[in-house]
């Protein structure tokens, strides 16, 4: 198919679905020039995306799968001090991936996530109360963003004074689209690596009960995690924990504002929150493209064969809107059942943070629809813009208005509580 536009551009992110529908129908397995100016294949049908995510013939580690020449042709340039960016478990295959994932599982347990529930409720209450006192906010900056950033930074033990710096660095990190982006981001990325090395050194000396301290102990006890892998793990948690949930909360709120019937229904039927969050994950798909894989041999998808040594992107945003699997995929159906969306990926790299992201969303959305009465967009819908991004999909801002109420007049019973939010 000719004329495939840049799929990391802001224009494409604003409404990717017409192009994805066309690709599913006419070119479901297609070779493109990606935003880093290197070749890549896109998979857009649900069946192919789901199969690719579970297929061991699609490897993640370019140093294992590709020759030096193939790497030079297909992977973007990266300076050596950023090597930890490419040694995280998201870029590794079994058995290395299995070892790293087991290790982080030891410290990032369901119990640790569940323990965060009260903290997430308190943070949400505080952010919503602050918003209510004003009557108008940028929901992205003042609600969707501070919640997951605070949670991940507290979890990792990053001091509050450093959060703004972290935000700036991770913004750079997730915006690496072109070779020029990489060059521009180098000073920020260098500072971030230096900061993380210092954080690890500090935890070695002082210990603690945060995630970094637990990972340092795991490294020291079993020497099953070397220093570079330890940094890579922290970096991955920071990056993955920053922009993804932000996009779910902001894009999900916009989806509800676009469909007032659904917004009203969620307000009236809060017990719908669990399926509603799954539907908002499907509908918005904050990670639009899964990260790259490389074919270790020729791999067939239907009648199409991708030769060995090629870079492949499974397009989650397209799979989640595939009419072969989801009835009326462009409609938001809060109680959709079944809903086998791929928003968290699938297979061995299935999102490690899914329980945390779900918990945050299950607390945030009820608070937004219930405690911000009369919620509506403060700007024309057409003026909203989306961030250019290689794999994510998210708004640049979401200005909203609602009825302002001084916080002391919000009845206690109407505020979110740990028990009340979870059916
Ligand atoms: C709505 C929020 C989120 C979405 C939509 C999301 C989505 C995803 C997806 C699609 C993958 C698989 C990528 C691939 O196979 O190429 C993934 C992996 C991962 N995610 Fe998330 N994520 C979210 C939140 C989080 C959070 C909050 C954390 C951390 C606290 C996190 C940590 C990770 C990690 C560590 C991996 C790599 C797992 C592995 O390689 O085994 N994610 N995520």
Name the helix (H) or strand (E) containing 31.
Answer: strand 29-33
Residue partners of 230: CB distance under 8 A and separation at least 6: 200, 215, 216, 219
Q: What is the mean pLDDT of residues 349-356?
A: 96
| Structural domains present in the chain | 79-286+332-414 (1.10.630.10)
pLDDT, greater one: 248 or 223: 248
413 — pLDDT class (breaks 50, 70, 90)? very low
End-to-end CA distance of the chain: 47
Which protein residue has the closest C-alpha to ligand 1 atom 32?
Answer: 353
On average, the pLDDT of the chain sits at 89
Structure confidence at residue 420 (pLDDT): 32
Question: In the structure, what pLDDT confidence band is assigned to residue 174 with cuts at 50, 70 and 90?
Answer: low
pLDDT at 419: 34
Phi, psi angle pair for 35, to nearest 5°: -65, -20
Q: How far apart are CA 33 and CA 51, in angstroms?
A: 23
**How many C-beta atoms surround the C-beta of residue 368 within 10 A?**
27
Cis peptide preceding 95, ω within 30 of 0: yes
Cα 360 to ligand 1 centroid, rounded to whole Å:
14
Instruction: Give the whole-angstrom CA distance, residue 331 versus residue 318.
Output: 14
Asked if residues 53 and 347 have their Cβ atoms less than 8 Å apart, the reply is: yes
Supply angle C-alpha 346, 348, 352, rounded to 5.
80
Task: Tell me the mean pLDDT in the region 417-421.
Answer: 34
- Taking the C-alpha atoms of residue 394 and residue 388, their distance in angstroms, rounded to an integer, is 8
Q: What is the largest CA-CA distance in the chain?
A: 66
The helix/strand/coil state of 410 is coil
CA distance 167 to 145: 10
Q: In whole angstroms, what is the distance from residue 177 CA to residue 6 CA?
A: 11
Residue 351 CB less than 6 A away from ligand 1: yes
Those residues with Cβ within 8 angstroms of residue 315's Cβ, 6 or more apart along the chain or in another chain: 20, 23, 42, 43, 44, 49, 288, 289, 290
Cβ of residue 248 lying under 6 Å from some atom of ligand 1:
yes
Whether the per-residue pLDDT at 103 is higher than 90: the answer is no
Residue 278 pLDDT class (50, 70, 90 cuts): very high
**How far apart, in whole angstroms, are the C-alpha atoms of residue 246 and residue 175?**
15
Query: What phi and psi values does residue 33 have, to the nearest 5 degrees?
Result: -100, 120
| Mean pLDDT to the nearest integer, 363-369 | 97
Radius of gyration of the chain (CA): 21
Residue 291 CB less than 6 A away from ligand 1? yes
Q: What is the residue with the minimal CA distance to atom 28 of ligand 1?
A: 353
User: Whose CA is closest to 203, among 219, 179, 181?
Assistant: 219
Going from the Cα of 127 to the center of ligand 1, the distance in angstroms, rounded, reads 25
Q: Which atom of ligand 1 is nearest to the CA of 92?
A: 40
- Predicted pLDDT of residue 417: 40
Residue 38 CA to ligand 1 center (angstroms) comes to 24
- pLDDT for 258-270, tens place per residue? 999 999 999 999 9
Lowest mean pLDDT among 27-41, 75-89, 283-297, 374-388: 75-89
Q: Do 251 and 393 meet the contact criterion of CB atoms below 8 Å apart?
A: yes
363 C-beta closer than 6 A to ligand 1: no
Mutate to test the pocket of ligand 1, among 252, 351, 354, 389 (most ligand atoms within 8 A of CB): 351
pLDDT, average across residues 42-52: 98
Instruction: Determine the average pLDDT of the residues in 176-188.
Output: 77
CA distances from 44 to 271, 318, 323 (A): 33, 5, 12
* Contact partners, residue 320, CB within 8 Å, separation at least 6: 46, 282, 283, 285, 326, 329, 341, 342, 343
**How much is the pTM?**
0.93
Least Cα distance to 155 among 84, 241, 85 occurs for 241
Q: What percent of the chain has pLDDT over 90?
A: 62
Closest CA to 309 of 92, 78, 67: 67
Q: Which atom of ligand 1 is nearest to the CA of 350?
A: 12
User: Is the beta carbon of 237 within 6 A of some atom in ligand 1?
Assistant: yes
Taking CA atoms only, the protein residue closest to ligand 1 atom 20 is 351
Which helix (DSSP H) or strand (DSSP E) does residue 33 occupy?
strand 29-33
Please give the average per-residue pLDDT across 133-137, as a whole number.
94
Inter-residue contact 308 to 297 (CB < 8 Å): yes
For ligand 1, whether the C-beta of 151 sits within 6 Å is no
pLDDT tens per residue across span 34-45 = 988 889 999 999
Percent of the chain past pLDDT 70, that is, above it, reads 91
- The residue whose CA is least distant from atom 41 of ligand 1 is 349
* Consecutive H or E run containing 301: strand 299-301
Q: Measure 240 CA to ligand 1 centroid, in angstroms.
A: 6
């Amino acid at each position: 198919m000719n004329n495939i536009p840049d799929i990391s551009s802001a224009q494409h992110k604003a409404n990717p679905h017409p192009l994805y529908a066309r690709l599913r129908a006419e070119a479901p397995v297609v070779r493109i020039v990606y935003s880093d100016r290197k070749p890549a294949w896109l998979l857009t049908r649900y069946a192919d995306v789901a199969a690719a995510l579970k297929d061991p013939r699609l490897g993640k580690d370019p140093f294992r799968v590709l020759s030096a020449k193939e790497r030079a042709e297909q992977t973007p340039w990266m300076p050596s001090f950023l090597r930890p960016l490419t040694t995280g478990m998201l870029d590794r295959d079994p058995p290395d991936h299995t070892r790293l994932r087991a290790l982080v599982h030891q410290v990032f347990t369901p119990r640790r996530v569940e323990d965060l529930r009260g903290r997430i409720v308190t943070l949400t209450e505080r952010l919503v109360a602050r918003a209510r006192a004003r009557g108008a906010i940028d929901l992205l900056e003042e609600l969707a963003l501070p919640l997951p950033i605070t949670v991940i930074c507290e979890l990792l033990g990053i001091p509050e004074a450093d959060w703004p710096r972290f935000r700036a660095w991770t913004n750079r990190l997730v915006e690496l689209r072109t070779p020029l982006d990489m060059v521009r981001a180098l000073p920020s990325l260098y500072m971030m690596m230096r900061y993380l090395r210092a954080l690890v050194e500090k935890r070695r000396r002082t210990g603690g009960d945060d995630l970094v301290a637990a990972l340092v102990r795991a490294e020291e006890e079993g020497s099953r995690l070397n220093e570079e892998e330890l940094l890579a793990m922290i970096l991955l948690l920071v990056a993955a924990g920053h922009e993804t949930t932000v996009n779910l909360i902001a894009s999900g709120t916009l989806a509800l504002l676009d469909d007032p019937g659904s917004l009203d229904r969620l307000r009236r039927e809060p017990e719908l929150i669990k399926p509603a969050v799954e539907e908002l994950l499907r509908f918005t798909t904050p990670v639009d493209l899964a990260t790259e894989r490389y074919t270790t041999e020729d791999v067939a998808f239907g009648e199409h064969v991708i030769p060995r040594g090629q870079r492949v992107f499974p397009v989650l945003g397209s799979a989640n809107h595939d009419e072969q699997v989801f009835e009326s995929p462009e409609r938001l159906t809060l109680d959709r059942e079944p809903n086998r969306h791929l928003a968290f990926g699938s297979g061995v790299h299935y999102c490690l943070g899914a329980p945390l992201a779900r918990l945050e969303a299950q607390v945030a959305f009820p608070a937004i629809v219930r405690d911000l009465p009369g919620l509506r967009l403060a700007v024309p819908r057409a003026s909203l813009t989306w961030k250019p991004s290689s794999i994510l999909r998210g708004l640049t801002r979401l200005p909203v208005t609602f009825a302002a109420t001084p916080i002391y007049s919000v009845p206690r019973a109407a505020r979110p509580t740990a028990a009340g939010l979870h059916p």
